[in-house]
Amino acid sequence: MSSLKLPQSVPSPAEDAELLHKAFAGWGTDEHLIISILAHRNASQRRLIRHVYAETYGEDLLKSLDKELSSDFESTVLLWTLEPAERDAYLANEATKRFTSSNWVLMEIACTRSSIDLLAIKRVYHSQYKKSLEEDVAYHTSGDFRKLLVPLVSSFRYEGPEVNTMLAKSEAKILHDKISEKAYSDEEVIRILATRSKAQLGATLNQYNDHFGNSINKDLKADSKDDFLKLLRATTKCLTCPEKYFEKLLRQSIRKLGTDESALTRVVTTRTEYDMERIKEEYQRRNTVTLECAIAGDTSGDYEKMLLALIGHGDA
Amino acid sequence: MSSLKLPQSVPSPAEDAELLHKAFAGWGTDEHLIISILAHRNASQRRLIRHVYAETYGEDLLKSLDKELSSDFESTVLLWTLEPAERDAYLANEATKRFTSSNWVLMEIACTRSSIDLLAIKRVYHSQYKKSLEEDVAYHTSGDFRKLLVPLVSSFRYEGPEVNTMLAKSEAKILHDKISEKAYSDEEVIRILATRSKAQLGATLNQYNDHFGNSINKDLKADSKDDFLKLLRATTKCLTCPEKYFEKLLRQSIRKLGTDESALTRVVTTRTEYDMERIKEEYQRRNTVTLECAIAGDTSGDYEKMLLALIGHGDA
């Protein structure tokens, strides 16, 4: 469930565009006004505002925001204002340019978006970057990471609820055999994780748990420092219980000595309109404090205000 | 270019549906009438006829055709009447159930359809078979064939004309190095073939030719009996000059002692509305005889008439 709070009566896109334009005028910038508008409009409303703004003032709203804002507040507002597919294509493209940690961003986008949403991202990627997401991921990764990430970003998974129990049993056994042999990047492991529907995979991991006494993620903890194993565990989480994955990512990025703003910003801007309520619930269960309190304790200023508005704190 | 011939004035779908229904009535079946209608309607016209037929007579046209027709003529009419994406999903699904030669069908569909068409096939696959094309291909293949086929069917290639010459040079060298080492199924070879746009790949293979003295397919002929090498050569052909691939497939299926009807039927029904004119040109250039003559010399009866009508022989 989305954490977004919309006003009872939403102003017209023209009114919003005009107010935003006023917020940029003169010496200072009215950050409060920007938050009060953009953090309380859904994706299609923001698209309309951007459209009207460009028509009226001859400049992309994102460009104006880019000129007026700075640092973490800026990146949050910019990421949020983008359309979901545009935003994910941007995040994925940035990730292909960096190393190690960026593998997580690619896996996260590939595994937690729906097939249709992932496809929309790939289309935007074509038109924005004049190449495919798959080729960039394949080109910029290597070894076991490539073996896992390329099929993950390439798959167009079936999304129906059908489950084949016999298949779940036999593939749970394959997974267990390979993990016992420490053949973590075996092509059968990758095939099962990368191509099966989330429903089927859920059934397979339940069979794993029932028949072999441990959850797959426990068995994948053989070496807690191994980066590939970490990514594999995160993959199974993203595919079967994304809210737990996001809770942990938030927890780690807030607890870090110096918050990891890029992860915090990414999770908040990408999940607000999808499952943020579910993630907040999970966060409170795991950390005793609410996500609101944790964010408020660890961030400040307009960045804090923007994040809190997005996760549904206060009124629209 | 399509070889389909449409009548100057196309009857309404209702008239066509009525005539088809009459063709099935009484003792015999009027095959001539069936050909005269279905072999001269394009995909959207056939869809409308099927729609009206089902509404009027309470039965899917395909089911009626299935009852009335038989053998190669039947499979040609049925395949042709299906929508392109439905037809390819069906062919791909059948291919995942069989062995060896079916690898070719999967590669052919993955490499000669546009990204958007391949995507439409994957959507139909989801709704028809309640699973994804990728998972079936991954499940039913193994070894080097799986390594190549899964990425080929999974990719959503960029289709723009942009070419990066530096990249083409460096990847031509990678291909040449790997082929020299006989590392034909090396992950870099697969990555390049499976993810690069067709334009980029064309440039890379041209660089290969220019810098290493041979075309890649010549270098891939080291062992002319090796099935994986054969499939690799067919893959580069499908990606860069599909008409040559189809010409050869037609030539081989017609020349065989006993025509290979399944390949012949597949090429004619799947290419008629796309590039059959180009394939016919290539066929005549390579075999001196026209494709019409070759088909007429090797097939007979209604099957022959249907194929000839589809490749544009005679009037609508």
Last residue of a domain, one of A224, A240, A256: A240
- Give ipTM to 2 decimals: 0.78
Question: How many domains does chain A contain in total?
Answer: 4
Of A135, A151, A156, the CB nearest to B196: A135
pLDDT recorded at residue B261? 84
What residue numbers bound the domain in which B211 lies?
165-240
- For B191, nearest residue in chain A (alpha carbons): A138
Find the length of chain A: 316
Please indicate, yes or no, if residue A79 is contained in any of the structural domains: no
CATH of the domain at A111: 1.10.220.10
Residue A313 corresponds to which tokens in the numbers above?
A: 């704190």
Confirm or reject contact between A13 and chain B (CB < 8 A).
no
Q: Distance between CA atoms of A34 and A19, rounded to whole angstroms?
A: 8
pLDDT in tens, B242-288: 999 999 999 999 987 667 789 999 999 999 999 999 999 999 988 88
Query: How far is Cα B93 from Cα B139, in angstroms, rounded to an integer?
Result: 12
Which stretch of DSSP H or E encloses residue B280? Answer: helix B276-287
Interface of B with A in 110-139 (CB under 8 A): 119, 122, 126, 130-135, 138-139
Tokens of A94: 């940035």
Q: What is the mean pLDDT of residues B162-166?
A: 95
Same domain, B59 and B102: no
CA–CA gap between residue B40 and residue B306 (Å, rounded): 10
Better-predicted residue by pLDDT, B257 or B170: B170
- What is the predicted pLDDT for the residue at B283? 95
Judge whether B304 lies within some domain. Answer: yes
Return the pLDDT at B99: 65
* B159 located within any domain: no
In this structure, the answer to whether residues A180 and A132 fall within a common structural domain is no
Say yes or no: A231 and A248 in one domain.
no
Residue B47: what residue type? R
A248 and A305 assigned to the same domain: yes
Nearest residue, CB atoms, A195 vs list B135, B156, B158: B135
> How many angstroms separate the CA atoms of A133 and A136, rounded?
5
A267 and A301 housed in the same domain: yes
The confidence score (pLDDT) of residue B98 equals 77
Q: Look at residue A224 and give its three-state secondary structure.
A: coil
| pLDDT tens for each residue of A195-210 | 999 999 999 999 999 9
Distance from CA of A17 to the nearest CA of B (A): 34
Residue B197 lies in a domain: yes
Query: Of A154, A180, A212, which one is at a domain's C-terminal end?
Result: A154
Residues of chain A with pLDDT under 50: none
Q: Residue B72 contacts by C-beta under 8 Å, 6 or more apart in sequence? A: B261, B265, B299, B303
Q: What is the pLDDT of residue B260?
A: 78
- Flag whether B192 is in a domain: yes
Neighbouring C-beta atoms of residue A262, cutoff 10 Å: 16
Where helices occur in B82-164 by DSSP H, the ranges are 84-97, 101-112, 115-129, 133-140, 143-154
> Does some domain include residue A8?
no
Paired tokens of B165: 């010459």
Cα–Cα nearest to A265, from A36, A35, A74, A123: A74
pLDDT for A28: 81
In a shared domain, residues B277 and B224: no
Same domain, B247 and B221: no
**Contact yes or no for A230/A198 (Cβ under 8 A):** no
| Rounded-to-integer distance, Cα B232 and Cα B221, Å | 10
The pLDDT tens digits of the residues spanning A125-150 come to: 999 999 999 999 999 999 999 999 99
Q: Do residues B38 and B102 both lie within one domain?
A: no
